[in-house]
A = this chain, B = another copy of it.
Amino acid sequence: MPRLDYPEAVVDLITELKRLPGVGPRSAERISVWMIQHNKANPEALSIALDTAREKVSLCDVCGFFSTLGECDLCDDDGRDVSSICVVEQPTDVLPLERSGAFGGYYHCLGGKLSPLDNTSPDDLNIAGLLRRISQSEAEGLEVIIALSSDVEGEATGNYLVEVLSKLECSVTRIAQGLPAGGGLEHADELTLMRALQGRR
């Protein structure tokens, strides 16, 4: 019996979809079927959106947020507080913080976190750019707020930053860890409760 396989065009599509982060072989197959099966799938729109994003959007050289044709909405915003810089992992971490309404300063996206397993060393992150920004800053009492994930890699990256930044003229703070809003004590894990207790005020 000859070995049956998907048509070449489907295999190519599955291969390309599988390369996306978070899309496994089964998801890639499901997406392919959906694309081919549904008239409303409109893959042309995705294909155009991909090309446009690739062409127009890049990451800002200064802060690492998305910039369109070299213009960054964050860095170009004069209305922000120059005396604080919030350090996050990814450009997608900026909007959740903005929506909280609790921060009005500038951001700095590292582009990831230190991770020996993924071979991410300090040189792979936009740390040199952060040090440059801080040393070039003319703001009085500059505060650098570290807002990284509360997992092992996020903690390690935070500790590394604290050490590096201690040599510069700025104060360094970290966002609090504790009970999430709306979460009852009975649903919190031990580590969260431990940190919530340690961070009590």
Residues A9-42 near B (CB distance < 8 A): 9-10, 12-13, 15-17, 19-23, 27, 29-37, 41
Q: How far apart are the CA atoms of A34 and B112 in the complex, in Å? A: 11
- A53 touching B68 by the CB < 8 A rule? no
Residues A54-84 near B (CB distance < 8 A): 54-59, 66-68, 73-74, 77, 79
Q: How many copies does the complex hold?
A: 2
Interface SS of chain A: helix, strand, loop or mixed? helix
Q: How far apart are the CA atoms of A37 and B83 in the complex, in Å? A: 28
- B95 touching A7 by the CB < 8 A rule? no
- B49 touching A16 by the CB < 8 A rule? yes
What is the interface size of chain A, counting residues whose CB is below 8 A from a CB of the partner? 62
The residue of chain B having its C-beta at the shortest distance from the C-beta of A54 within the complex is B43
- B4 touching A74 by the CB < 8 A rule? yes
A5: Cβ under 8 A from any B Cβ = yes
The residue of chain B having its C-beta at the shortest distance from the C-beta of A97 within the complex is B4
A51: Cβ under 8 A from any B Cβ = yes
Given A1-B104, A16-B50, A22-B30, 4 more A-B residue pairs with CB atoms under 8 Å apart are A8-B68, A13-B52, A21-B34, A36-B66
Chain A residues packing against B (C-beta within 8 Å): 1-10, 12-13, 15-17, 19-23, 27, 29-37, 41, 43-47, 49-59, 66-68, 73-74, 77, 79, 90-92, 94-95, 98, 104, 111
